[in-house]
Every structure is written in C-alpha cells, then in structure tokens.
Amino acid sequence: MTFDGKSYSFHGNCSYYLVKEIIAKHEPTVVINNHDCNLPDSSFCPQALNITYKSYRVLLTQRKTSGLVSNVAFVNQKQIFSDWSNSVLRLTGRELMIILEIPEIQSQVRYRGSSFSIHLPNSLFGGNKEAQCGE
C-alpha cells in the first residue's frame, strides 16, 4: 500500500523505487529488488530492499542456509550480525524482523522478508515524495 493508500502488486524480475524525494532535501531512497516467483497467489516476491541515506547503503534480504531462511542485513556491503548503530543509522532485530531507523529524519523501515513497511514523517516528507517507479 502506498503513502496515499493505494494498493499495487509487484510482479516480474525488476526493481521499483518505493521512496524517492521529488526535490532532494534529505535524500533517502528505498528500492525493492523483485524476482519472478511464479506463485499464483503472491502479489510480489521481494528479493531485497536497498536503502540509501547519505554515504550509507543498507541491504535487507534473506538467505537460505541448510533449508532455513533468515533475515540478513548489510551496511556498505559488510554483513551485520547483531544489533548495530552509528551516529546516522540503527539496525535492530534479526530473526523475524529487521528494523532500520534513521533518527535524524525520524524514519523507519521494517523488513520481514515477504513484507515490509516504511514510515516517514509527513512534517519532513509531505508533498515531496514519489514512488512506484519501475526500472
């Protein structure tokens, strides 16, 4: 569901912008990488979420090991194995959900593998965000 309440399906092997500013002020972007899964009852098959903010690239994805699927997080191509934070980003959780917080812009991404949510404050992003742009 989009910020304005519309529902969309994500099909095919492609990428979609989920968050992008119209006029660059804070410059966060969120891109979903999708893959073909051929499940008739699935509206989308996410492969990964890519979040970019300042000089940081965060990748949230899943990895299958010994038949078990687990959430995995990378910051600037370096895997993060436990809760992690610096002066710009905070990553918490792992098993069922990864939460990425960007306190400076009061934003949060919750990643569950097959579902996710993105929270942006209207006071900073109202009227200045666009999304659902396929690549």
Return the structure tokens found at 134.
């396929």
CA atoms within 13 A on the CB side of 48: 12
pLDDT tens digits, 16-69: 677 777 788 888 888 777 655 555 554 556 678 899 999 999 999 888 888 888
Q: Read off the tokens for 113.
A: 């593998």
Q: What is the mean pLDDT of residues 3-12?
A: 60
Radius of gyration of the chain (CA): 15
The yes or no reply on domain 15-134 and CATH 3.40.1350 is: no
Task: Kindly list the domain boundaries of the chain, sorted by start residue.
Answer: 15-134
Q: How high is the pLDDT of residue 132?
A: 55
d(CA 39, CA 52): 30
pLDDT tens-digit map of 92-124: 987 789 999 999 999 999 998 878 888 888 888
